[in-house]
Every structure is written in C-alpha cells, then in structure tokens.
Structure 1
Amino acid sequence: MTKFILATIAAFTVAIGLLSSPLSLAAENLVGLPVSGLAVAEKNGKLRFVSDNGRFLIEGRMYDTWNKEYIDSLEMADRASKYIDFEKMKFNVQDLDPLVFGTGKKQVTVFVDPYCGFCHKMFGQMQDLQNDYTFNIVQLPILGESSVGRVRDVLCAADKAEALKTVLSGDNNSVLKPLASCDQLPVNKRLITAQFFAIKGVPHSIRQDGLITKGFIPDLKGWLAQGKG
C-alpha cells in the first residue's frame, strides 16, 4: 500500500510539473522512510542533512528539484525553505482554477478557506492593491464539511464575477447558480498542491518574488512592497 501511495504521489507530481532535475528521477520502486522533515547542519565546511527524528544522516549533495539548484550552503538551504519559484518549477497556478482579483503585473497567490476569518481580513486589504497586483485566490476545503461544500459551489458557479464577490465579502450564504456541468478536478489538484507545499493552515501566501508567509499578514501592502519583481 505504501508503494502504491508513493507511486501515485510521484505520478501526480510529474503531472503538475513539480519534478525535473539534471538527474534521472524515474524510479521503478519507491520505499518510504519514517521521516516528516529534514534539517541542514554544517560542520567543518560540509553540509549534512538530518531527519527530524535524528535517525537518518544524509551525506553528499542535495538537489532542489523545484528551484533547479544544488543546496551547497546554509544560506541556500534557508532560501529553499522560504521561497518557491513557480517559473523554475514550471508550475502554473491557473491549473488550480483560482479566483483572480486585480489587474496588476505582480502575481500573488493566496491559499484560503471560505470560513477563514483572517483570510477575510486580508481580502479587505487587497481592495486598495488591486491596480498594482493580481491576486490568485485558491480556495482549500480544510476547515470542515461546510468548507467542502462552499468550495464546490464557488468552483462550479456559473457567474464567476458573482462568486468572486461573495468570496471577497466573506459571504458563504448566498446561493450561487451552478454550471450545468462542472469538472471538480481542480479541487483535487489544489489538495495535492497543498500537500507538496506543506500547507497546514490558511491564509498561506506566496509573494511575487516567491517568498512564503504562513498565517495572517497585518500589513499586506508593506509585505508586498518588500518583494522584488
């Protein structure tokens, strides 16, 4: 069962373009290890990668398949833990069918839940920034069954402008007229993406320069202004 799950995840990873490197990553067999995270330690000028439970020590070079580079310093490891480069990953957020708000050149991605109060507060801050930024709002159904239903209703709404309006206002009660036929695959893609990006809560924001910030951002304008690009 573990091999099946890992193989399925690997297949989905390739499907949404998250894996590519100068190394051959095609594998006929996969074995899962009891590890949920890695830390990087430096000793005598050499990096070593240690599992979060201290059991496994990995020596040698580590390649970041997302940012297309080897991690050869603590600084690079720190950056890899804080930044995601969608362009290098060949990851297209539009594959997740987000709600798009704003017309600016700078692209910002925010993962939210329909019933997330702090997400609603961030929506309020977006109103004054819509000419400078484009916000890709990706709804995740992670706060219960009500969220599952509302994410489906918004995704399948016939009037996308009306759906966006309800989301930005925090209105989860208005009835949205559904499309005659609706493909809900984007929701599955969102959940898989959330797993890969280690999204455990919302809001989860990715700035135009790839900086990741978890949780509520009190000064969204200031945070965005600090980003390059």
Structure 2
Amino acid sequence: MMKKRPVLLALTLLVSGFSQAEAPSVSPADSEEAVAKNVVKSVPLPLDGLVAAKDKNGNDVIVSTNGRYFLKGYLQDVFTNKQIKTVDDAVDAQYLTLANMGLNLVDIGTIPYGNPKLPLQARIMVDPYCASCTDLLRKLSEHRDEVHVEIMLTPIAGQMSIKTALNLWCTYEVDYDKGREVVELLMKGKPYPELPEQPTCKGQRVLLNTMLTRTFNLKGVPAIWRVDGLAQPGIPNDLLAFLNERRPSDESSDESVVSK
C-alpha cells in the first residue's frame, strides 16, 4: 500500500478539524446582546469566545461572547508581542502581516495574478472545490488590469481538496511559467485534469497556507488577506475598494519580504 506523503497526512489532520462536530456556536446577534448587558462598546478578537470591550464605567475589559465571564488582566499576542487590554488593542490585533509573523513570501504558497506594475494589494485564499472561491477569482479576472494579488491555494474541504491543491501547487512550484494556467484552472473550477505528479515538490507551503486560516480564525474561504494585515472571509460588495483600502496610520508593509 502506498504511504501517504507527510504533508498530505498533516493537511488531512488539520482539515479534519473543520468537519468535527462542535457545540452550537453563539450567533453574532446573541453574542452582541449578551455582551451589551455589561458593556457599551466591543470589538471581536481574532479568536473564538472573547471580545475586547469598554464597560459602562469606561473600564477596558475582555469579555466572553456569552456575557458570562470577563478576564482580569490582558492577552499577549505571540506574533506581535503586544498586549491586548483595550478596544483599540483589539482593533490593532485584527491586522497581522507576514513581517509580524516572522515569515517571508517564500514560506507561503502564492501565485501572482493581475497587473505587476501595481503595488501588491492582497492575497486571496481559495479552496479548489469552493464555488464562492471560483466566483471571487472570476470577479478578479474582470478587473485584471486594476488588481495585483497573489492566489493562495488553501485546501480546507477534505482529502480531495488537499490532493488537488497539492497537485496544482506543485505544477506551479516546479515551473513558475505555469502560474497563469493554474489560476485559469481554479477559475473554471471542478472537474480538474489529472496533472503529472512532481516528486521534488513537498507542498509545505500549502500546509502553511491552511494553518494561517486558524491563525486568522477564519471560518472558511474565500478570504482576502490584505497587505496591511487585515484578513476577511467572503467577497466584499465593492471588491476594488476593499483591495485598495488600508488601515488608518498604516505602519506595516509586506513590500520588504523576500520574494520567490
């Protein structure tokens, strides 16, 4: 029996977490109602169960989304080494760049797309079998000359998704000239052609892509990870405006990261 590649096995274990049965999550409306009983303003943190808030006395607190618990003290962001105590800190924590994480572009799996004469705007996380991912890629193709993004193959939908993502990525990794071909296959969506295996490609970059969905606490893809560090799932109503938006007083940039 053929042994499963280590990266394929690791991805399978990671992706299985998305399909595990969990306790019913608290809806955003219920969370807001519960928190509002004790606070006047809140901002979600990029993790489940907690929000940074300001109570009715003007104190900064970290509260559970069901309104039952609050945390005395602060949270520490292991990537930025910043403390999260206030609503403003929580807003700041929503922005996480490659540089914040100590990563370079060569550490993640990206395929460039669009107009290279423009500054990089965002990275697009997609699963090969995600219909809305295909929709987002097609919307990008309508504005090809107006966008400069990088496509991140991010399989989260099961073993077939993992296999296809690794196949597509490895086709590109061994021949960067095939980037456009791979992106066009993603735009067409399933079924995907059988591409030759690339034994020299190990696929760790795709593994890291998928791990980043947990780092950002994304519940699914597609997701857009802008160069200012904000990662947001779904398709924005105004795609171009969102790609070009930047955080106020943006101090971070990925322009200095090492490229392929």
TM-score strictly above 0.5: yes
Match of 1:76 among 60, 85, 89: 89
Label 1:172 to 1:84 Cα distance change in 2 as closer, same or farther (>3 A): farther
Label 1:68 to 1:141 Cα distance change in 2 as closer, same or farther (>3 A): same
Q: Please name the residue that 1:148 is paired with.
A: 162
Match of 2:49 among 32, 37, 43: 37
Q: In the TM superposition, what are the counterparts of 1:134-145 in structure 2 within 5 Å?
A: 134-145=148-159
Q: Establish whether residue 113 from structure 1 lines up as the match of residue 127 from structure 2.
A: yes
Tell me which moved more, 112-121 or 48-57: 48-57
Label 1:72 to 1:145 Cα distance change in 2 as closer, same or farther (>3 A): closer
TM-superposed deviation, 1:79 = 3.8
| 3-state SS in 2 of match to 1:88 | coil
Q: In the TM superposition, what are the counterparts of 1:42-81 in structure 2 within 5 Å?
A: 42-43=54-55, 44-52=57-65, 56-80=69-93
Q: Please name the residue that 1:205 is paired with.
A: 224
Equivalent residues of 2:121, 2:244 under 8 A apart: no
Residues 170-219 of structure 1: CA deviation (Å, up to 9, x unaligned): 35422323324221222322232222221221111112322222112243
Higher relative contact order structure (alpha carbons within 8 Å, sequence separation ≥ 6)? 2
Number of residue pairs the alignment of both structures matches: 194
TM-superposed deviation, 1:72 = 4.2
TM-superposed deviation, 1:151 = 0.7
| 3-state SS in 2 of match to 1:39 | strand
Label 1:152 to 1:85 Cα distance change in 2 as closer, same or farther (>3 A): closer
| 3-state SS in 2 of match to 1:210 | coil
Q: Please name the residue that 2:108 is paired with.
A: 96
The runs of at least 4 aligned residues of structure 1 exceeding 6 Å deviation read none
Equivalent residues of 1:68, 1:88 under 8 A apart: no
Q: Establish whether residue 173 from structure 1 lines up as the match of residue 192 from structure 2.
A: yes
Equivalent residues of 2:216, 2:231 under 8 A apart: no
TM-superposed deviation, 1:109 = 1.2
TM-superposed deviation, 1:96 = 1.9
TM-superposed deviation, 1:131 = 4.4
Query: How much identity, in percent, do the aligned residues show?
Result: 27
Equivalent residues of 1:156, 1:182 under 8 A apart: yes
Label 1:198 to 1:56 Cα distance change in 2 as closer, same or farther (>3 A): same
- Give the whole-Å Cα distance in 2 for the aligned partners of 1:181 and 1:86: 26
Gaps of 5+ in 1: 1-34
**Given residue 71 of structure 2, which amino acid in structure 1 is its aligned partner?**
I
TM-superposed deviation, 1:144 = 2.9
- Give the whole-Å Cα distance in 2 for the aligned partners of 1:94 and 1:132: 25
Equivalent residues of 1:105, 1:132 under 8 A apart: no
Q: Establish whether residue 189 from structure 1 lines up as the match of residue 201 from structure 2.
A: no
| 3-state SS in 1 of match to 2:151 | strand
TM-score when scaled to structure 2? 0.63
Equivalent residues of 1:114, 1:172 under 8 A apart: no
Equivalent residues of 2:62, 2:72 under 8 A apart: yes
Q: Please name the residue that 2:98 is paired with.
A: 86
Match of 1:220 among 202, 218, 239: 239
Equivalent residues of 1:115, 1:143 under 8 A apart: yes
Gaps of 5+ in 2: 1-46, 251-260
Match of 1:125 among 139, 161, 164: 139
Equivalent residues of 1:166, 1:172 under 8 A apart: no
Tell me which moved more, 147-156 or 66-75: 66-75
